[in-house]
Structure 1
Amino acid sequence: MKLYYPLLHYDATYRGMVFPLLKPFIKGGDFTDAQRIEVYGVSEQDFAFTDRMEAADLVILTMAWNYYVKTKQENLTVSFIEECGRLHKKVLVVNVGDFGVKIPSFKTIIHLRSGGYKSKFKHYEFCVPPFIEDPLKKYFSSDQVFLRPYQKQAVVGFCGQANASRVNAFKEVVKTIGRNLKYYLRLSNEDPQQILSTSYLRASILNFLQKSDGVVCNFILRKKYRAGVTSNKDFHDTTLAFYNNLRDSDYIVCVRGAGNFSVRFYEALAMGRIPVFINTDCALPLDNIIPWKKHVVWVEFEERDRVAEKVKQFHEALSKKDFIDLQRTNRKLWEDTLTLPGFFMSFIPTLK
């Protein structure tokens, strides 16, 4: 499938808002394919690009929609999409950030986003995973999963922000109401969010687990995101503690953050761990081809008080071999379908 993107739309000052697949390919002239493979895990042989829109099977909008809103260039992208429509070309567009921004409805777009609410997705909206660095290579200099032996009781891990304070919960709710109000008053383009305190939600889930004698809890609780660390974050002690917690646990509690998705979910899979997925009307990538309930402990929001029971049932249904195999399978799932090349090589063919 040949891909086209308008290079003139590229703005180097907002490189963080470039469409993810294009980042490895919009580089300086001295950037080699070997470097592309080393840095991004993708080769110029993996995707076919054309510099003629007419010859393309699929068009990619170069920058995230948020960029065009932020730089007040929405008219530019609207006219571009209309031009693509006249040539009967579908256009891949992406929303970035925790919340995403409102996108006008077009018959010709395919909209990718990490967050949002699955029940509100239109037929042309799909989930894209956050593309993380390989934690095994980055923090443990390895490409092999640390295999956990099967034990009678499941070890459930969590390292991160959780706050049971009702005062803090009230502050978070007020902040969300204020953000939503700006949207409805047309003072902001950010999509409105469910009214809840996510740090209180996490604390309540962890409390349900801690009160159960059916699982073993391995929790490190923080009152602030990244424990308040703002510099040298990648290799700060708190970050190393986070990945050690993943390594030393069987199951990982994954609950939404500010946006309705969890980066921890993908970090757990990359480490070969089993996410305990609290479904807050989340969208998951490639849910038409990935049987997600075989890879995670699936807990509906309304059943969150039964989270320990759900983990126990899932764990006891596995044999020793099943448990080892699932760790390897989850790591391979991340490698094959949730990395940057893996996702797009899996997703683009489904558009045919």
Structure 2
Amino acid sequence: MKLFYPKEHYNSTYRGLLFPLLKAFIKNKAFTDAQRLELYGVSEKDYRFVEQLIRADVVVLPMAWNYYVATNQLDSAHALIKAAAREQKIVWSWNAGDFGVKIPSYKNVKVFRMGGYISRAQQGHEGMPVFISDRLSDYQLPNHFGLDYTEKPIVGFCGQANGSLIHAYWEQSKIIFKNLQSYVGMSKKESQAVLSSTRLRAQLLAKLAASNLITDRFILRQHYRAGVKTKAEKQQTTDEFYQNIAQSAYVLCVRGAGNFSVRFYETLMMGRIPVYVNTDGFLPLTNQIDWQKHVVWVDIKDIHRIDETVHAFHQRLDQNSFQNLLKSNRKLWEEKLTLQGFFESQKV
């Protein structure tokens, strides 16, 4: 695939907002292709960068929309998109972070994003995975995909959950304030659903823990990453997190501050089954992946019966189909949800 991007758009000060695929290629001269393969899973053989827009298969807007908005350079982004449109080229772009920024609508632009809301029907907006490291080898149990099928589904979760109404009101008040700023033009960020994600998590975990239809394996934290500070503490909590996934068949995956779940991709990476709570969020490659075959799908309106939904999904499986699903989910992550796999899938 031949790609073009204007080099003058790149700002190393804002490297965190560089288009994800370009992070593997905009490196210092000493960086080798072997290092690129090891760190990013892509090779210089996979993509050819051309110097002229007209020769490209795809044009890439190098920085996230957040950058162009924050630095008042939307005109530069618009000029590139307009030039691409004249040559009938598609532009890849990225709306980064928990909360996307408000951007114009273009017919020839794909806006990849993790957060956001499908029901807003924004032209060209598509789901993108959270690109994570492969941790399976670090936490692999003997015969990892040979996890036994049990009579009751084993549901895991390790993370922050706070059922406090006071905390929920505080979370929602902050969202309302930010939404007001967005509505009156004081903020360039998109408005968000008024929802306490930590309370939602706590309510769902309590519902599952009280059910006799599932076996719970929960480690609940009052703070993000358990509030740890030292390197040793961080390593311990990371180990506990991945061990919890490895020892569970299913993992509860609920949105965080942004309308997406990193845990969703971590669960698939570990070859386990997400219990995906659908809060109107984007998922990647919906034109290629039948997500409801890979996850326990729970619409927000049906969360009161989440335990029944998990149980019913599990009852449709047996030892053979259960293990096949674990393998299938790991393969899905490898082939479609890594940096290399996702952008390779865009060629279809």
TM range (shorter): over 0.9
Which residue does the alignment assign to 1:319? 318
Sequence identity, in percent? Answer: 49
Give the conservation status (yes or no) of the 8 Å contact 1:145–1:328: no
Counterpart CA distance in 2 for 1:221 and 1:159 is 6
Which residue does the alignment assign to 1:41? 41
Kindly tell me the number of residue pairs found equivalent between the two proteins.
Answer: 348
- Cα offset, 1:106, TM superposition: 1.6
- Cα offset, 1:225, TM superposition: 1.4
Matches within 5 A, 1:265-304: 265-304=264-303
Matches within 5 A, 1:4-19: 4-19=4-19
Give the conservation status (yes or no) of the 8 Å contact 1:134–1:270: yes
TM-score (norm 2): 0.96
TM-score (norm 1): 0.95
Deviations 1:32-53 (A, max 9, x none): 1111111111111112221111
Letter in 1 for 2:80: F
Which residue does the alignment assign to 1:199? 198
Q: Secondary structure at the match of 2:264?
A: helix
Counterpart CA distance in 2 for 1:143 and 1:39 is 26
Counterpart CA distance in 2 for 1:79 and 1:98 is 27
Give the conservation status (yes or no) of the 8 Å contact 1:112–1:125: yes
- Cα offset, 1:234, TM superposition: 9.3
Counterpart CA distance in 2 for 1:208 and 1:235 is 29
Q: Secondary structure at the match of 1:236?
A: helix
CA gap 1:298/1:233 in 2 versus in 1, 3 angstroms? farther
Which residue does the alignment assign to 2:78? 78
Which residue does the alignment assign to 1:222? 221
Matches within 5 A, 1:165-204: 165-204=164-203
CA gap 1:104/1:343 in 2 versus in 1, 3 angstroms? same
Which residue does the alignment assign to 1:102? 102
- Cα offset, 1:96, TM superposition: 0.8
Structure 2: gaps of 5 or more residues: none
Which residue does the alignment assign to 2:157? 158
Give the conservation status (yes or no) of the 8 Å contact 1:269–1:330: yes
CA gap 1:181/1:232 in 2 versus in 1, 3 angstroms? farther
Structure 1, 333-342 or 146-155: larger mean CA deviation: 146-155
Q: Does 1:210 align with 2:209?
A: yes
Letter in 2 for 1:73: Q
CA gap 1:117/1:239 in 2 versus in 1, 3 angstroms? same
CA gap 1:142/1:313 in 2 versus in 1, 3 angstroms? closer
- Cα offset, 1:300, TM superposition: 0.7
Give the conservation status (yes or no) of the 8 Å contact 2:115–2:282: yes
Give the conservation status (yes or no) of the 8 Å contact 2:139–2:242: no
- Cα offset, 1:182, TM superposition: 1.0
- Cα offset, 1:230, TM superposition: 5.0
CA gap 1:285/1:145 in 2 versus in 1, 3 angstroms? farther
Which residue does the alignment assign to 1:331? 330
Give the conservation status (yes or no) of the 8 Å contact 2:65–2:93: yes
Give the conservation status (yes or no) of the 8 Å contact 1:158–1:245: yes
Q: Secondary structure at the match of 1:92?
A: strand
